Amino acid sequence: MAEGDSIVRMARRIEAAFGEREILGAEAPNPRSPLVRTASRLVGHRLARTETRGKHLLLHFSPELVLHAHMGMNGGWYVYGPGQRWRRPRRSAWLVIDLGDLEVVEFGGPTLRLVRPVELSRDPRLARLGPDILGGPEEVAKACANVAAVGTVELGEALLNQRLVAGIGNIFKSEACFEAGIDPWGAVGAFERGQIDRVLGIAADQMARGVETGRRPGRVYRKSGGPCPRCGGRISSRGQGDDNRTTYWCPACQS
Ligand SMILES: [Zn+2]
């Protein structure tokens, strides 16, 4: 699943694939792609830079052309060399960028659009994004203040609220709370400020490691029913918040 760490890694992979290459062809094989009529506008461009904001990926091609993508639960980017086997059928791709010796491919997700930068600044989803968990100590400090301010909201739900802190998804929500020994079901206001700072600091560290190594902690996420690596008790899981996103936790050592 695409959380902030994997978005940054994806941006790096895409940057490496592009290098100085010029786009020789661009098409949207899937008729449901939002780029069916506009993909060809990419032809002739080179990638100027990539940018990530939480779970949003921005590919800047020129001062007037930006590709804005959000992978959601099911979207994904891939880079394929000649003869390499694709993980999903070409006809289902939303975007195929031909770089000559490489193809950069995107499948699905809630957002894929070509816009001018001025439209980005008007995008309410981007405008509402909170500080980026991978944005460094100052951003993390702002995120802590934001989360600490929503007293009645359950911690697990607050951590997923991209207006409070951008980039954390279901995996790091669960793993950071476990590492901190904090109950994700507790209302934010029931914790001391130091605990809020601790859980967000841990999430930032875990995700920064994820950026560099591609690995995630994996101690409770999707380990429901299995033994807790700390106390040996049974790991629980249950949907949390308005979107019913599954939280994994150890009731014995996170209370
Ligand atoms: Zn435990």
Q: Domain check: are 114 and 158 in the same one?
A: no
Mean per-residue pLDDT over the chain, rounded: 95
What integer is the mean pLDDT of 190-198? 97
DSSP state at residue 227: B
For the segment 217-246, what is each residue's pLDDT rounded down to a tens digit? Answer: 999 999 999 999 999 999 999 999 988 999
CATH number at 166 reads 1.10.8.50
Q: 244: CA distance to ligand 1 center in Å?
A: 23
User: How many A from CA of 238 to the centre of ligand 1?
Assistant: 16
- How far is the centre of ligand 1, averaged over its atoms, from the C-alpha of 34 (Å)? 45
CA of 38 to the centre of ligand 1 (A): 51
Q: Using pLDDT thresholds of 50, 70 and 90, give the confidence band for residue 2.
A: confident
Residue 144 and residue 105 in one domain: no
235 C-alpha vs ligand 1 centroid, how far in Å? 7
Same-domain status, 8 and 122: yes
My answer on whether 152 and 238 are in the same domain is yes
Confidence of residue 147 (pLDDT cuts 50, 70, 90): very high
Residue 60: CATH number of its domain: 3.20.190.10
Question: What's the gap in Å between 253 CA and the centre of ligand 1?
Answer: 4
What's the number of CA atoms in the CB half-sphere (13 Å) around residue 86? Answer: 17
Beta bridge partners of 56: 53, 70
Give a yes or no: residue 132 inside a domain.
no
Name which of 88, 89, 105 is nearest 35 in CA terms: 105
State residue 232's pLDDT score: 97
> Are residues 161 and 89 part of one domain?
no
Q: Beta strands 95-98 and 65-70: pairing type?
A: unpaired
Q: Are residues 225 and 163 in the same domain?
A: yes
Same domain, yes or no: 88 and 146: no
- The answer to whether position 245 is within a domain reads yes
| 96 C-alpha to ligand 1 centroid (Å) | 46
Distance from the CA of 224 to the center of ligand 1, in angstroms?
A: 12
Task: Check pLDDT > 80 for residue 20.
Answer: yes
Same domain (yes/no): 101, 48: yes
Q: How many domains does the chain have?
A: 2
Q: Which of 127, 159, 186 is the last residue of a domain?
A: 127
Do 94 and 176 lie in one domain? The reply is no
pLDDT in tens, 153-187: 999 999 999 999 999 999 999 999 999 999 999 99
Give the end of a domain, one of 109, 127, 145: 127
Say yes or no: 75 and 105 in one domain: yes
pTM over 0.85: yes
175 C-alpha vs ligand 1 centroid, how far in Å?
12
Q: Is the pLDDT of residue 1 over 80?
A: no
| Residue 255 within a domain | no
Same domain as 202, residue 168: yes
Residue 161 domain-assigned (yes or no): yes
Would you state the pLDDT for residue 246?
A: 96
pLDDT digits (tens, 9 = 90+) for 127-143: 999 999 999 999 999 99
Please tell me whether residues 102 and 156 are part of one structural domain.
Answer: no
- What is the per-residue pLDDT across 71-98, written as a single tens digit (0 to 9) for each? 988 899 999 999 999 999 999 999 999 9
pLDDT value of position 74:
86
**Cβ-contact 38, 71 below 8 angstroms:** no
CA of 178 from ligand 1 middle (Å) equals 8
Task: Examine residue 63 and state whether it is found in any structural domain, yes or no.
Answer: yes
- The pLDDT value given to residue 255: 83
Q: 204: CA distance to ligand 1 center in Å?
A: 22
Task: Please give the residue range of the domain that contains residue 81.
Answer: 4-127
Identify whether the C-beta of residue 146 lies closer than 8 Å to the C-beta of residue 165. yes
Percentages of the chain per state (helix, strand, coil), in multiples of 5? 35, 25, 45
Quick one: pLDDT band at residue 31, thresholds 50, 70, 90?
A: very high
Using the mean position of ligand 1's atoms as its centre, give its distance from the Cα of residue 255 in Å.
10
Q: What is the pLDDT of residue 226?
A: 97
